[in-house]
Structure 1
Amino acid sequence: MPAAAVTLEEAIAAAVAHTPEIVAARADSDAAAARLGEAKAGSLPTATLTGTIGVGRLDPQNFFGLGAANVTPRAGQVTIEQPLYAGGRVSAGIAQANAGNDAARAGEDATRSQMVATVAQAYGDVLTSRRLMVLSNELVAQMQEIERQARLRYKAGESPSTEVAQAAARLAEAQAGLAQAQGFVVSANARFSILTGLSPEALEPLPANPALPATLDEAMDAALQHNPWLAGAEAGVRAARAAAWGARAERLPTVGAFAEGAMVRDQFFPGYRADSATVGVRARWQIFNAGASAKVAESDSSVRAAEARFEAARNQVREQVIAAFQAAQTALLVEEASARQAESARQARDSVAHEVRVGLKPQLDRLNAEREATGAAAALARAQAERIVAAFRLLSLTGR
Structure 2
Amino acid sequence: MRRARGVLLVAFCAFAPGLCAETLNGALLRAYHISPVINSSRAGVRALDEKVPQALSGMRPRANAGAFLGVQRNRSVQIQNEIDLLDPTLQGPVKSVQSGGSTPRAANITVEQPVFDGFKAFNATRMAETNVFAGRARLRLTEQRVLFNAASAYMNVLRETAALRLQENNVAVLAEQLRQTRERYVAGQITLTDIAQAEARLAAGQALVGQARAALDAAIGAYRQTIGDEPKKLAPGAPVDSLIPKTREEAERIAQAEHPVILAALHDADAADLDIKVIEADFMPKLSLVGNLFTQTDVAGVYNRNIGASLGGRLNVPLYEGGLTSAQVREAKEVAGQRRLDADVARADVLALVRANWGALQAAKTQISAAQTQIAAAERALYGVREEAKAGQRTTLEILNAQQELLNARISLVFAQRERVVASYAVLSAMGRLSTETLGLVDAPYDPAIHFEQVKGLWGGIETPDGAR
Please, what TM-score do these two structures have when normalized by structure 1? 0.93
- State whether structure 2 residue 173 is matched by structure 1 residue 138: no
Task: Decide which structure has the larger Cα Rg and report it.
Answer: 2
CA contact (8 A) 2:67 2:108 kept: no
1:289 pairs, out of 306, 321, 333, with 321
Q: Secondary structure at 2:236's aligned position in 1? A: coil
Q: Which amino acid aligns with 1:193?
A: R
**Aligned position for 2:255:** 223
2:129 pairs, out of 98, 123, 127, with 98
1:12 and 1:198 mapped to 2: Cα distance? 12
1:326 pairs, out of 333, 345, 359, with 359
Over residues 67-93 of structure 1, what are the superposed CA-to-partner deviations in whole Å (9 max), with x where a residue is unaligned? 654433332222232222111211221
Quote the offset at 1:357 in angstroms: 3.7
Quote the offset at 1:33 in angstroms: 0.8
2:338 pairs, out of 294, 297, 305, with 305
2:222 pairs, out of 191, 205, 215, with 191
Q: Secondary structure at 1:59's aligned position in 2? A: strand
Which shows bigger deviation, 190-199 or 322-331? Answer: 322-331
CA contact (8 A) 1:167 1:367 kept: yes
2:29 and 2:138 mapped to 1: Cα distance? 18
- State whether structure 2 residue 160 is matched by structure 1 residue 129: yes
Quote the offset at 1:372 in angstroms: 1.5
Quote the offset at 1:212 in angstroms: 0.9
1:25 pairs, out of 41, 45, 61, with 41
2:298 and 2:384 mapped to 1: Cα distance? 113
CA RMSD of aligned residues (A): 2.2
Alignment of 1:162-311 (within 5 A): 162-210=193-241, 211-290=243-322, 291-311=324-344
Alignment of 1:63-102 (within 5 A): 68-102=99-133
Q: Which amino acid aligns with 2:278?
A: G
2:382 and 2:99 mapped to 1: Cα distance? 117
For structure 2, which runs of at least 5 residues remain unmatched after alignment? 1-16, 79-95, 434-469
Closer, same or farther: CA 343–256 of 1 in aligned 2, 3 Å: farther
Quote the offset at 1:19 in angstroms: 2.5
Query: How many residue pairs end up in the alignment?
Result: 398
CA contact (8 A) 2:69 2:106 kept: no
Which shows bigger deviation, 138-147 or 242-251? Answer: 242-251
CA contact (8 A) 2:368 2:416 kept: yes
Which shows bigger deviation, 82-91 or 356-365? Answer: 356-365
1:303 and 1:37 mapped to 2: Cα distance? 24
Quote the offset at 1:219 in angstroms: 0.9
**Aligned position for 2:26:** 10
Please, what TM-score do these two structures have when normalized by structure 2? 0.80
**Aligned position for 2:399:** 366
Q: Which amino acid aligns with 2:54?
A: E
2:368 and 2:77 mapped to 1: Cα distance? 106
Over residues 6-34 of structure 1, what are the superposed CA-to-partner deviations in whole Å (9 max), with x where a residue is unaligned? 21122122222223221221111111111
Over residues 45-82 of structure 1, what are the superposed CA-to-partner deviations in whole Å (9 max), with x where a residue is unaligned? 23x2322232312427499x996544333322222322
Identity rate of aligned residues, in percent? Answer: 28
Closer, same or farther: CA 187–203 of 1 in aligned 2, 3 Å: same
For structure 1, which runs of at least 5 residues remain unmatched after alignment? none
Which shows bigger deviation, 330-339 or 320-329? Answer: 330-339
Closer, same or farther: CA 353–278 of 1 in aligned 2, 3 Å: farther
CA contact (8 A) 2:73 2:101 kept: yes
Which shows bigger deviation, 199-208 or 346-355? Answer: 346-355
2:384 and 2:303 mapped to 1: Cα distance? 117
Quote the offset at 1:338 in angstroms: 2.3
Closer, same or farther: CA 399–265 of 1 in aligned 2, 3 Å: farther
**Higher-RCO chain (CA-CA 8 Å, sequence separation at least 6):** 1
2:363 and 2:49 mapped to 1: Cα distance? 42
Over residues 167-197 of structure 1, what are the superposed CA-to-partner deviations in whole Å (9 max), with x where a residue is unaligned? 1221122112111101001100011001111
Quote the offset at 1:152 in angstroms: 2.1
2:97 and 2:317 mapped to 1: Cα distance? 45
CA contact (8 A) 1:49 1:76 kept: no
Quote the offset at 1:396 in angstroms: 1.5
1:220 and 1:136 mapped to 2: Cα distance? 41
Closer, same or farther: CA 339–317 of 1 in aligned 2, 3 Å: same
CA contact (8 A) 2:252 2:431 kept: yes
2:375 and 2:223 mapped to 1: Cα distance? 27
Q: Secondary structure at 2:19's aligned position in 1? A: coil
Closer, same or farther: CA 71–220 of 1 in aligned 2, 3 Å: farther
